[in-house]
Amino acid sequence: MAKTSMKMREKRRHNLCNKLHGKRTALKKIIIDLNASDEEKADAVYRLQELPRDSSVIRQRKRCSFCGRSRSNTRLTGLCRIHMRSAVMNGLIPGMRKASW
């Protein structure tokens, strides 16, 4: 079980990322634009660096929806391996079953 502070930190990062997503993409478009002048690009880089570090998408981490575990998550269900196994054993995930041979 993840600490509550880690879950809240991840939630804060997600909210900050959603809030500043438009501004970040606009500045990145200016930086990669071939027709933009060097002064505009330098200004865009400076303004991008002034944004909060946690507003970047890359700083977010996927977590299990039940326990908040940050490792071994599946994109299909959003669960960690521990809860994925128990959900499959209980038949909660359609089309999946325990392998036996």
Do residues 41 and 87 both lie within one domain?
A: no
The whole domain housing 80 covers 62-101
What CATH code is carried by the domain that includes residue 88?
Answer: 4.10.830.10
Do residues 43 and 82 both lie within one domain?
A: no
CA separation for the pair 49, 4 (Å, rounded): 29
Q: Tell me which amino acid residue 69 is.
A: R
Do residues 49 and 89 both lie within one domain?
A: no
Walk along the chain (101 residues) and give the pLDDT tens digit of each residue: 778 898 889 899 999 999 999 999 999 999 999 999 999 999 999 999 999 999 999 998 888 988 889 899 988 889 999 999 999 988 888 888 777 77
Give Cα separations from 7 to 68, 71, 72 (angstroms): 7, 13, 16
- pTM for this one? 0.70
Do residues 3 and 26 both lie within one domain?
A: yes
CB 52 within 8 A of CB 13: no
| Coil, helix or strand at residue 45 | helix
